[in-house]
Structure 1
Amino acid sequence: MPPRQQQLVFSVSGLLGLSCALMASVALGLPLWLSGAVLCRTGAELVNATGAELEQVLNTSMAA
């Protein structure tokens, strides 16, 4: 295989591997981000909860 073609093949393979690793890390981190921070805060803001009410909203939304 000519050196130029070999360099192109390895470069494309490296970019493909890097993009797969990035997509896998995003896929693993996304569900935790969705269920933990954003939905709980949004639910607490919707009901305007404070104190004991806030704890109840947070516990209810974490169980769902």
Structure 2
Amino acid sequence: MRPVSSQRLPPPSEVSTVPEREVTAPKPARAPERPPLFQPPEPLVDVDPDAAVWDALRRHRLH
């Protein structure tokens, strides 16, 4: 008497013979357009716009 688990498996002729590495999703051949270590260009004025906005809000609330 065979175990139940072996009866649920398809016969070897029905199992696909494709290797597992081909079954997985194919990776893109080309590298992404943006390099991983992308450095934004230096701003002409060395002021963080977010910091300037928070400074203005802080001054506005103090008055």
* Same-fold call, TM cutoff 0.5: no
Q: TM (normalized to structure 2)?
A: 0.31
| Higher gyration radius (CA) | 2
TM-score (norm 1): 0.31
Q: Which has the higher contact order (CA 8 A, sep 6+)?
A: 1
